[in-house]
Each structure stands twice: as C-alpha cells, then as structure tokens.
C-alpha cells in the first residue's frame, strides 16, 4: 500500500517535471515573447505577488468562487433532490433543466448584468446559475438511487428527523455531492474569470483582460499559474481527503 | 393480554396487471412472550403482513394493534441484513438506540453476545453474510423490543450458519422474552423454532391452520421429533403444505 502510494507520487512528480522541461524546451526553441518559459513566468509571478496586485486579485476571485459555489451547490442540490423524489416536480422542471444546461454561459452572464446591474450580486448569481442545472442533474440521479429499504429501517427504528438525514439519507448522496462539487469547482472558476472580464474591475479575470490588451503573455501565464496552483491545492488538500473520508467504508 | 392483534380484512396492491389482493381476512393474536412462526409459500403475503404490522404500510382495510404503551418498542430483521454500509458494526447497532452516554457500550455488549466483539469497527462490506445477519439481529435486539418481527432472516445461509443463528435467537429470546413473529417458508425451521405455527395459504394469504406446538426444547430442524411432526402434518394436510420451499426440495 505504502510502496504503491510512493510510486504514485513519483509518477506525478515525474509527469510535472516532464511538462516543465517540455515547456522550457519549446520556449527556448521559439525564443519569442509569445512563449515565455517557466523560469520567466515564475520570476514574473514572484514580482507580481510582491509588488503587484496578484494576491488581492486572487483573494477577490477566490471569494467569488466560494460564494457562487456555495449558492450553486445549495440551490442545485435542493432542486435536484426534489426532482429526484417527486415525479410531478420532475416532469414540470425537466425542460427547464435541459434549457439551463444548454444556455451558453456568456448569455447568462450578459443577462444577469443587464437585469441586475454591473454589480457583485449579478456576478455571483451569473456564475451560480451556470452551475445550478449541472448540480441538479447529478443530485437528481442521486435522489433516484436512494435505497428505500434503508429508509424503511429508519422508519422501523423511529429515528429522529436529523438522525435519519445524517446517518441514513445523506450518506447515500455523498458520492453524488462529491461528484457535483469536484466538477463544479473547476467549472465555476473558469466562469468566474469570464464574469470578471465582462463586468468587474478587479479579480484574476479582469487583470487577465488588461494583460491581454498589452500583449503581456508572461503576466497572463503567471496569473494563470497562480490560480491553477490554488485550485490544485484545494483539490489535493480538501476534496480528495474529504472524498477518502466519505468513502472509506467501501472495500 | 395479547401483545399483537391482527385483523386485516383486505390488503391489495395496484400493479400493471391490475389489482392484486395480497391478504384477505388474516386474523390472529399473539400473546406476550410467545414465539409464533408464520409459515406460507412465497407469494402468500408474509412480507406484506410484516410491513403492515411494523407500520411501514398503512394502506389496508382492518385493524392491527400492538400491545404496550404507544405500541411498545419494535425490532425488525429483514430478509436481507439492511445494514448501513457507511456505518461500522457498532454504529449500525447504535442506530437502534437513542444517543446517550452508555449507548455505545450497550451496542458493544450486544455485539459481544453475538460473538462479534472483534468486529466492532468493521464496516459491513468487511463482514461475511452470516456476520452481517448477526449485526442485524443485534440491532433488532439491542433496544429490548417488546415485539420482534423477523422476515426469513436466515434464508440463503448455509445450514450450519443458519442453525447457529437460530440458536442465538432462541438464547436471546429465552433471556429477554420479547414477543416474536418469525416468518419463514421452511416447515422444518418453523417446527424447530415456534411455540406455535400459523399457516398462510397461497395468495391472497389467509390463516388456514393455527397449530400450537409443545415439543420440548432444544429442538433441531433435523431432529426426530420435528421430523415425526412434519410427516404427520404432511399426511394430514397435504394441500396445505404444497408450495413450501423445503417440501418442494424433499419432493424433488
């Protein structure tokens, strides 16, 4: 088990190093400001972090990600669970869901800004709305798969509402909640950047837009790298351990 | 005073083929502390009847009264163990107890009685079929139920494991004396366990014979006393016992 994990870690490091080497080699061959190498990007990153507003932008964007993530998960789960359990509600809203899944993110963003104004609420609602249908679809499947036999056990044992929820019902939805969270996080941070580019004057997305106008590819890559690093850290230090904990009962 | 009064005049299901009557005029009473077996071929509505008694299904005509205040405490063992896969053996048993300081210890004691003391922290997927059923039995017994409903709890187990679990059940029953309604389609099992055997007809189920049993305990499903009684029953009621699992096997 331990040796397996070690070799797994080795493989991951090897893959990361290979990527960096290939990138450096390509940059060296191109020798152009259009493709800065990893060393140049790392230097720019350090400089932007110390002198520039990278950390502020990063913080603001992360706050937006967190807010829209929480909103989308709460609303999407509630809608999905309701649809999974009630055929009438499902019939009523299924078309809406398909519609929601297929409206382009950019359209939702424009409409939110036009209807709600160019403000923070509109930004967060726009991002959340893009994720809600996806969460709802996943949780609907989860609710449909809930094992009624186990709920009967809860009935026989006369469990309180909260124990029934915590010990019998929700554990059945955890795999679906995890799937929705992980796919949601990556979707949301991509959309947050678009929302910032279109209608905010701070955050990673806005700043990327500025660097785009200046052809500053090094800074674009530096901002991207910093954000990807944060998302990888969340995945590795929060999502994966959580998933392991929630599914440790599986053989 | 009886611990359980059943008077179901009719229970029907709606299905794609129309309405199916599962139970018709099922009436019997079980007195407190009695171990009654309910025997019937598959499709005789045994499981349906248990879910009515457990209060899992209230859509029926008739009346079911469970004794004691507010129906008393209920324990139930289903056909499959129905353990929560995400809870350890201990937590599965604790599920039947109100959260209180001593409840974990009580669950552990119960599991130790079931010879599962070494598996307190095991998840169901790490347990064998027989062990899972012992956890289910522990969960049903741990809150000292007044009425215990068992729905073919030992089917699809190999014979020695099933017998071991029957012995465990009888030991717990003689110590705590809950009223037990034990559903089975195995005549030998019913004769070796019960104080009394209620025979259900094929669907729609009705009680066609109510047989008190005074065979001395301990009995064995393969013992001479059970075998003699079984032969006598088969001769006296050949129609009655058609369709029971064990009898089909012996006929084959």
Q: Look at residue A251 in the predicted model and tell me its pLDDT.
A: 64
Q: Is B28 on the interface with A (CB under 8 A)?
A: no
Any A CB within 8 A of B78 CB: yes
pLDDT of B179 over the 90 cut: yes
Most A-contacting residue of B79, B81, B84 (CB-CB within 10 A), to test interface: B84
The reply to whether residue A249 touches residue B85, judged by beta carbons under 8 angstroms, is: yes
Between residues A65 and A5, which one has the greater pLDDT?
Answer: A65
3-state secondary structure A105-126: HHHHHHHHHHHHCCCHHHHHHH
B219 to chain A, closest Cα gap in Å: 31
- Per-residue confidence (pLDDT) for residue B68, from 0 to 100: 61
**A35-83: per-residue pLDDT in tens?**
999 999 999 999 999 988 899 999 999 999 999 999 999 999 999 999 9
Over residues B51-66, the pLDDT tens digits come to 999 999 999 999 998 8
pTM to 2 decimals? 0.82
Residue B76 DSSP SS3: strand
In angstroms, rounded to a whole number, what is the distance separating the alpha carbons of residues B35 and B193?
Answer: 8
Residue-by-residue DSSP string for chain A: -HHHHHHHHHHHHHHHHHHHHHHHHHHHHH-STTS--HHHHHHHHHHHHHTSSHHHHHHHHHHHHHHHHHHHHHHHHHHHHHHHH-HHHHHHHHHHHHHHHHS-HHHHHHHHHHHH-SSHHHHHHHHHHHHHHHHHHHHHHHHHT--HHHHHHHHHTT--HHHIIIIIIHHHHHHHHHHHHHHHHHHHHHHHHHHHHHH-SSSHHHHHHHHHHTT-HHHHHHHHHHHHHHHHHHIIIIIHHHHHHHTTT--
Contact yes or no for B194/B48 (Cβ under 8 A): no
Per-residue confidence band for B251, with pLDDT thresholds at 50, 70 and 90: very low
CA distance B215 to A135: 62
ipTM for the whole complex: 0.87
pLDDT higher than 60, residue A122: yes
Question: Per-residue pLDDT averaged across B217-223, rounded?
Answer: 86
Q: Return the pLDDT at B165.
A: 87
Residue A64, class by beta-carbon neighbours within 10 Å (0-12 exposed, 13-18 middle, 19+ buried)?
Answer: buried
Could you give the CA distance from residue B244 to residue B44 in angstroms, rounded to a whole number?
10
How much of chain B, in percent, has pLDDT values that exceed 70? 94
What pLDDT sits at residue B250?
47
Q: Is the pLDDT of residue B71 over 70?
A: no
So what's the pLDDT on residue B97? Answer: 92
Q: Which residue(s) pair with B14 in the sheet?
A: B19
Q: Does B104 touch chain A (CB under 8 A)?
A: no
CB–CB contacts below 8 A, A to B: 50
Region B72-84 average pLDDT: 91
Parallel/antiparallel/unpaired status of strands B196-200 and B207-212: antiparallel
SS3 percent helix, strand, coil of chain B, rounded to 5, is 35, 25, 35
Query: Tell me: the pLDDT tens digits for A173-183?
Result: 999 999 999 88
Q: What pLDDT, on the 0 to 100 scale, is given for residue A56?
A: 92
B178 pLDDT higher than 50 = yes
Q: Which residues of chain B have a CB within 8 Å of the CB of A163?
A: 95, 99
The pLDDT confidence band at residue A215, using thresholds 50, 70 and 90, is very high
Q: Work out the pLDDT band at A208, boundaries 50, 70, 90.
A: very high
Cα separation of B44 and B5, whole Å? 19
CB contact (8 A) between residue B55 and residue A155: yes
Between these two residues, A203 and B204, which has the higher pLDDT value? A203
CB distance B97 to B142 below 8 Å: yes
Label residue B70 by pLDDT band (50, 70, 90): low
pLDDT value of residue B246: 52
pLDDT value at residue A235: 86
């Amino acid at each position: 088990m331990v040796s397996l994990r070690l070799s797994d870690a080795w493989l991951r490091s090897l893959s990361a190093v290979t990527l960096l080497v290939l990138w450096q080699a390509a940059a060296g061959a191109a020798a152009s400001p259009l493709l800065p190498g990893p060393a140049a990007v790392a230097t720019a990153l350090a400089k932007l972090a110390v002198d520039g507003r990278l950390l502020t932008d990063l913080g603001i964007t992360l706050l937006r990600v967190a807010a829209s993530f929480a909103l989308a998960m709460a609303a999407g789960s509630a809608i999905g669970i309701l649809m999974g359990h009630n055929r009438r509600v499902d019939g009523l809203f299924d078309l809406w869901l398909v519609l929601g899944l297929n409206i382009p993110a950019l359209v939702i963003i424009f409409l939110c800004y036009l209807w709600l104004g160019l403000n923070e609420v509109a930004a967060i609602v726009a991002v959340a709305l893009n994720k809600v249908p996806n969460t709802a679809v996943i949780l609907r499947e989860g609710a449909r798969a809930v094992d009624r036999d186990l709920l009967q056990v809860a009935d026989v044992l006369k469990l309180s509402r909260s124990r029934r929820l915590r010990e019998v019902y929700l554990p059945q939805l955890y795999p679906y909640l995890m799937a929705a969270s992980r796919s949601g996080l990556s979707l949301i941070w991509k959309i947050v950047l678009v929302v910032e580019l279109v209608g905010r004057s701070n955050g990673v997305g806005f700043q990327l837009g500025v660097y785009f106008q200046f052809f500053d590819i090094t800074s674009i890559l530096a901002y991207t790298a910093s954000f990807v690093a944060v998302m990888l850290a969340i995945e590795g230090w929060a999502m994966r351990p959580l998933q392991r904990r929630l599914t440790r009962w599986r053989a | 005073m009886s611990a359980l009064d059943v008077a179901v005049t009719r229970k029907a299901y709606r299905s794609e083929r129309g309405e199916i009557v599962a139970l018709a005029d099922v009436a019997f009473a079980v007195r407190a502390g009695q171990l009654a077996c309910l025997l019937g071929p598959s499709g005789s509505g045994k499981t349906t009847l248990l879910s009515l008694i457990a209060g899992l299904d209230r859509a029926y005509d008739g009346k079911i009264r469970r004794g004691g205040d507010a129906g008393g405490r209920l324990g139930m063992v289903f056909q499959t163990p129905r353990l929560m896969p995400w809870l350890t053996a201990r937590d599965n048993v604790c599920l039947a107890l109100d959260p209180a300081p001593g409840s974990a210890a009580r669950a552990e004691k119960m599991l130790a009685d079931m010879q599962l003391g070494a598996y307190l922290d095991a998840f169901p997927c790490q347990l064998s079929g027989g062990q899972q059923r012992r956890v289910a039995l522990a969960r049903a017994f741990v809150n000292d139920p007044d009425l215990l409903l068992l729905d073919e709890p030992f089917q699809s187990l190999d014979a020695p494991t099933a017998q071991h679990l029957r012995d465990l059940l009888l030991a717990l029953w003689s110590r705590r004396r809950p009223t037990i309604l034990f559903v089975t389609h195995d005549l030998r099992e019913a004769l070796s366990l019960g104080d009394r055997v209620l025979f259900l007809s094929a669907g729609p189920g009705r009680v066609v014979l109510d047989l008190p049993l005074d065979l001395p305990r301990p009995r064995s499903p393969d013992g001479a006393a059970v075998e003699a009684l079984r032969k006598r029953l088969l001769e006296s009621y050949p129609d009655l016992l058609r369709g029971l699992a064990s009898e089909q096997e012996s006929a084959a």
